[in-house]
Amino acid sequence: MNWNLVIKKKPLLKIGILFGKFVCILLFATLLYYIASAESTRIQAYWTVFLIEEEDVNGAVAISNNKVARVGFFSPFAHLVIIDLITGNTRHYNANEYPGAIDWIDMDGDWVVTRNDYAPQNSINAINLVTDEHVVVTPPLGFFVDHQLPAIEENSIVWMFHRPCCGTDILHFDLSSRTTISITNDGWQNTEYWPDVSGDWVVWNNGSSQSGDIYAYNMATTELLTVTQDADPQWYPKIDGNLLTWADGRNGNLDIYGFDMQTRQEFPLVEGANYQYGQDIDGNLLTWLENIGTLTFRVNGRDLATGETSIIYESIPWTEPYGPTFLSGNVVIWVFNENFTQPRLYGARRLTYQSYLPVVAGG
C-alpha cells in the first residue's frame, strides 16, 4: 500500500466533506428563509384599462355585474344603452320602450333606474334587464316638480324630490312592495341631495348650511345619525355595507374620508396635497379621481384590506371628467373628455396574482 498516496488524498477528502456540509447548510437556511417569509406572501394586483365607447357619451353611466349602462343620443330622445363587457353585446332601449330624455342613471343587479326628463316635468323609472319589466317609480307630477339623482341597491331606490316652491327631501321606493316612504320630510327648511342606499341605511348631503353635512337614516330602526357637522364642506356620500365615504374639504383641498356605521368611527381614507373626490366603494375596493395638475386627472384604486394603491389611469392635459368613478366588483368605469373634443367611456379591470417572493420590511 502506498501510504504517501493515502496521506495526499485525505486533505482532498476533507475539503469535499466540508463543501458538502456547506451546501447542505445553505440549502437548509434558504428553505427556512422562505418558510419564515411565507406569511408575507401576498396577493398583488394590476389594472387593465380598456375603451368602452367613444361616440354619443355623456356622464350618465353606471355599472353592475359586468354590464354597463349609458345614455346614447338618438333623435328625438336620449336612449338607454346596455353593454355586456363579457360578451360585447349591446342593447338599445328606444323611445317607444323607454320614453323621455335620460340624464341620470344607476344600476344594481338586473335593475336600472333612470331620471327621465319630460321637460318641464320628469320622473324616476326602473327597468329590469332580464324580464324587461318597466316600473314607473314616480310619475310626472306637474310643473316645477323635480326628481333627481336616483340611486339603487337591490330592491331599494332613493332619490331627491324637489318641491315647486323650495326645499328638497329624500324619498325611498321598495321594488318588492312597490311602496314609497319619505326619508326626510322637513319641507322648505333644508336642501337634501346626493342620496345613496345600502341595506337599511340611506345617506345624503344636507345643503342647508354651506358645509353640506352628511346624514344617515336607518330604515329598520328609524335612527337619524349626524355623521359630519363641520364648517368645511363634505359632499357626495357613497355607502357600501358598513362603510360610508365622502369627499371632505377640512384640509383645504378635498380628501376622501370614511365612517364605520357599526363602530361610529371616522377616519381618513385618502389624503394628499391634490384634490381627491368622485369616489366609489364596493367591498374592500375604493376608486377615486385625483386632480394632479391643470386639467389633468388620475383614476386611482386602493385595496382597503391590504392598503395596496394603484394608479389606474392618467389623463392627458386638457381633460374634463364627466362625473365620478363607478365601481362594481373588480371593474371601474369613468368618462373623460380629453382635449375637450370627444367624451370617452373608459373601463379598467383589476386582476390579481399570487406573489411568492418574500415581502421585506418597507416592501
Domain coordinates in residue numbering, the chain: 40-355
Note the pLDDT of residue 45: 80
DSSP state of 139: -
Alpha carbons 168 and 189: distance in angstroms, whole number:
8
Which amino acid appears at position 113 of this protein?
A: V
Helix (H, G, I), strand (E, B) or coil at 15: helix
Alpha carbons 191 and 206: distance in angstroms, whole number:
6
Contact 128, 113 (CB under 8 A): no
C-alpha grid cell for residue 300?
Answer: 386611482
Q: Which residues, including other chains, have CB under 8 Å from residue 171's CB and lie 6 or more apart?
A: 138, 158, 159, 160, 161, 180, 181, 182, 183
Q: Which residues, including other chains, have CB under 8 Å from residue 43's CB and lie 6 or more apart?
A: 306, 352, 353, 354, 355
DSSP state of 339: T
Query: Per the CATH hierarchy, to which homologous superfamily does domain 40-355 belong?
Result: YVTN repeat-like/Quinoprotein amine dehydrogenase (2.130.10.10)
CA-based torsion, 92, 95, 98, 100: positive or negative: positive
Alpha carbons 18 and 138: distance in angstroms, whole number:
86
Alpha carbons 269 and 338: distance in angstroms, whole number:
28
Note the pLDDT of residue 137: 93
Query: Model pTM?
Result: 0.84
130-148: b (≥16 Cβ within 10 Å) or e: eeeeeeebbebeeeebbbb
- C-alpha 137 chain-centroid distance: 25
Note the pLDDT of residue 31: 54
> What tens-digit pLDDT sequence spans the chain (363 residues)?
444 444 455 555 555 566 566 656 666 665 555 444 444 455 678 999 999 998 878 879 999 999 999 987 655 567 889 999 999 999 987 644 555 678 899 999 999 999 987 655 688 999 999 999 999 998 666 556 788 999 999 999 999 998 766 778 999 999 999 999 999 987 666 789 999 999 999 999 987 656 689 999 999 999 999 999 888 889 999 999 999 999 999 999 999 999 999 999 999 999 999 999 999 999 999 999 999 999 999 999 999 999 999 999 999 999 999 999 999 999 999 999 998 888 999 999 999 876 554 444 333
C-alpha grid cell for residue 23?
Answer: 451546501
